[in-house]
Amino acid sequence: MDKTLYIEGMNCNHCKMRVEKALNKLDGVTAEVDLDNKLAKVTLSKEYDDKALINAVEDVGYDVVDIK
């Protein structure tokens, strides 16, 4: 399953790396951040509640404004 997280507050490669690291730390999650479009493309190999993904991003200081 694929999801796209739209994230506010990212402006540099350090931000990108922090968000990718936080999401990839979750078991079964592969994430790649597109800094220009302020989003993270996430591939899930198992079921995750959106709240778990949101919490991972918010715990490192960024805001998830939408998930599709």
Interval 15-61: pLDDT, tens: 999 999 999 999 999 999 999 999 999 999 988 889 999 999 999 99
pLDDT confidence of residue 47 = 87
- Which residues form the domain of 47? 2-67
Task: Name 67's bridge partners.
Answer: 5
- Specify the amino acid at residue 11: N
44 contacts 2 by C-beta, under 8 angstroms = yes
The CATH number covering residue 53 comes to: 3.30.70.100
pLDDT confidence of residue 48 = 84
Q: Which residues contact 57 (CB under 8 A, 6 or more apart)?
A: 5, 7, 19, 22, 23, 40, 63, 64
Task: Judge if pTM exceeds 0.85.
Answer: yes
pLDDT confidence of residue 63 = 96
Q: Give residue 62's pLDDT band: very low, low, confident or very high (50, 70, 90).
A: very high
Nearest to 31 by CA among 58, 7, 4, 64: 4
pLDDT confidence of residue 59 = 96
- Specify the amino acid at residue 23: L
Q: How many domains does the chain have?
A: 1
